[in-house]
Amino acid sequence: MSVARVTEISATSEKSFEDAIQQGIARATDTLHGIRSAWVKEQEVQIEKNKIVSYKVIMKITFVLDET
């Protein structure tokens, strides 16, 4: 039997939402193992002087807990 946990993370990029997602997953895999899926819950842009300066995503990451 597997038991999974869901944790929420946020990531930002100056390039795109796709890059923010990639960076968030890359960072999560440095700390968590057994990641099975990610769900993008929210997307947001930061605007300065009428231009987009960064892209932010909030994701829910699902990973399987280690067996004991």
The number of beta carbons lying within 10 Å of the beta carbon of residue 24 is 22
Query: Given this model, what pLDDT does residue 1 score?
Result: 77
Listed residue (62, 11, 64, 16) closest to 39, CA to CA: 62
Q: What CATH number is associated with residue 20?
A: 3.30.1660.10
What pTM does this model have? 0.88
Query: Given this model, what pLDDT does residue 66 score?
Result: 85
Question: Could you state, in chain order, the average pLDDT of each consecutive group of 10 residues for the chain (68 residues)?
Answer: 92 98 96 94 98 98 89
Query: Given this model, what pLDDT does residue 67 score?
Result: 81
Give the residue numbers spanning the domain of 56.
Answer: 4-64
> What total number of domains does the chain contain?
1
Which value, to the nearest 10 degrees, does the dihedral of the CA atoms of residues 38, 24, 5, 40 take? -40
